[in-house]
Amino acid sequence: MTLQAKSVAIVGGGPVGALAALYFAHDGWEVNVYDLRTDPRLEQRTTASTGKSINLALSHRGIEGLRGASPGLANMVMKHVVPVYGRMIHDRHGRLTSQAYDVHGEHINAVDRGWLNNVLLEEAEKSSGGKVKIHFGHQLMQCDFHSRQLKFMTADGEVDVRADLVVGADGAHSAVRRQLMRVARVDFEQKYIDTLWCEISIPPAHVPSTKEETYPLDPHHLHIWPRKTFMLMSLANIGDDKSFTGTLFMPQANFDDIVYPLDVVDFFKSYFPDVVPLIGEENLVKQFFQNPKGSLMSVKCSPYHYLDRCILIGDAAHAMVPFYGQGMNCGFEDVQRLFELIRTTNSMTTALSQYTTTRKADLFAISDLAMANYVEMRSTVTSRLYLARKTTEELLYKYVPQLQIRTLYNMVSFSSTPYSIALRRSMWQGKMFSGLCIGTGLGLVGAASYGVYRFRKVFRNLISSD
């Protein structure tokens, strides 16, 4: 049974909020989206001006979220992505090693965040028959959930609006979440990691003897320069640009040690020598000092709802560090899961309550996985034990699929397996792999011991016969 459509105020017009607007509109709701920004469709976006990566990794959960709103929309978006089939590991000598994501050729998809956001906003306005109205330049000041009233500040003064349901899709520093915490007992954890990030753009390469430009690196790989305690990673940009957006993740102490232009050049030549000629020393120094150094934050909270009045989705509910590429994908899945409950219950209170109950374990799990994947990407990807386990799990998945052994990355990125179940399965597989290694080791030790015993026995017999 589908609940009777009412009015909804979605605070936050990013990709997750815009997708939510589509879902609500398709179910007949009166939808108003309020965003603090000016209309991004009217702005000229560049990496340098925004200080944010212009690429996102769209994978299975995100695609399914788009498809749930509109199969045609999902198909259109997939025509504007760059497929990325694996990681390309760069060592300190410039040698390359490709690590495929999946033995069956599954891939993630690099997509321009700004372009996708604009497409979703356009689709929400265009396909809703006037049910979706988007209001920019609106800063949320107050939510009175009991009277269902919201107060916004605009350039023209205060604006009061009414909505039956408030959806908080306004990011890691969510104003809706702050208002929710005033009326509900919300457990809240905000955690910064000792890592800053700085964007380093890699320009297109020029094709010799022509005026054409091409990608400076293989565009179908996520490029990683793992250096134990820090790393550089880079993903191809979309369209005619042919550039790469690189991001240096490093503890603040390391950034503080780089003071002069020569320090930048020496640092990159020491740790990322193959990158320097792609960017040029002068351009590298300019970017390093001019581009902002951002912090990385993780947010966990619960519950995500209040009665039948409010629900948090996307980063407002679960901001995570970017190392699993699941932030947007998880947010899109939030919307899809929410509507599965709204469409199958006869009470909004029940739907929102069940959302908190069924989603919490998965959101906590992916937050922890994203944090752990930073260690994997900057260090573990070069470990022989990691590679041995990855190879073993992939071989079993390919040749003995009935065992249902899959890599954690496969379960997270290429399936709808709940995050918490994927984590538990991976931990179980890890124990089995460790047991296999220990058993194999003990078997080899036992065989060696028996060999030594037999040799000594034969040797003693030979001596005795003499």
Domain-located, residue 463: no
* Percent of the chain whose pLDDT exceeds 90: 73
Whether the CB-CB separation of 171 and 314 falls below 8 Å is answered with: yes
Q: Which residue is listed with tokens 């994203």?
A: 370
For residue 299, is pLDDT > 90? yes
Window from 178-182, 324-328, 381-385, 458-462 with minimum mean pLDDT: 458-462
Same domain, 368 and 257: no
Same domain, 137 and 274: no
Burial readout 271-287 (b: 16 or more C-beta within 10 A, e: otherwise) = bbebbeebbeeeebbeb
Same domain, 183 and 197: no
* Percent of the chain whose pLDDT exceeds 70: 90
How big is the CA angle at 182 (ends 178 and 187), to the nearest 5 degrees? 75
Domain-located, residue 284: yes
Window from 75-89, 232-246, 387-401, 442-456 with minimum mean pLDDT: 442-456
Q: How many domains does the chain have?
A: 3
End residue of a domain, out of 376, 400, 431: 376
Domain-located, residue 99: no
Whether the CB-CB separation of 53 and 199 falls below 8 Å is answered with: yes
CATH number for the domain harbouring residue 56: 3.50.50.60
For the chain, helix (H) and strand (E) counts, in that order, are: 16, 21
End residue of a domain, out of 376, 395, 414: 376
Same domain, 22 and 150: yes
pLDDT in tens, 95-124: 999 999 999 999 999 998 899 999 999 999
Same domain, 290 and 206: yes
Same domain, 164 and 28: yes
Domain-located, residue 97: no
CA distance 11 to 74: 24
Same domain, 75 and 201: no
The radius of gyration of the chain from alpha carbons, rounded to an integer in Å, stands at: 26
Domain-located, residue 183: yes
Global confidence as pTM: 0.89
Q: What is the mean pLDDT of residues 380-392?
A: 84
| Local confidence band at 463 (pLDDT 50, 70, 90 cut-offs) | very low
Window from 30-39, 341-350, 448-457 with minimum mean pLDDT: 448-457
CA distance 354 to 358: 6
pLDDT at site 346: 87
Domain-located, residue 98: no
Same domain, 120 and 261: no
End residue of a domain, out of 245, 270, 294: 294
pLDDT at site 116: 95
Same domain, 400 and 440: yes
CA distance 74 to 54: 19
| Local confidence band at 446 (pLDDT 50, 70, 90 cut-offs) | very low
Same domain, 139 and 110: yes
Q: What is the mean pLDDT of residues 227-239?
A: 91
List the domain range (segments joined by +) for residue 417.
384-447
Domain-located, residue 145: yes
CA distances (Å), origin 288, targets 200, 228, 247: 7, 21, 11
pLDDT at site 377: 84
Same domain, 109 and 215: no
| Local confidence band at 227 (pLDDT 50, 70, 90 cut-offs) | very high
CA distance 186 to 312: 12
Estimate the share of the chain in helix, then strand, then coil, as percent rounded to the nearest 5.
45, 25, 30
For residue 231, is pLDDT > 50? yes
pLDDT at site 208: 76
Domain-located, residue 401: yes
- Cis, peptide link before residue 303, omega less than 30° from 0: yes
Same domain, 274 and 421: no
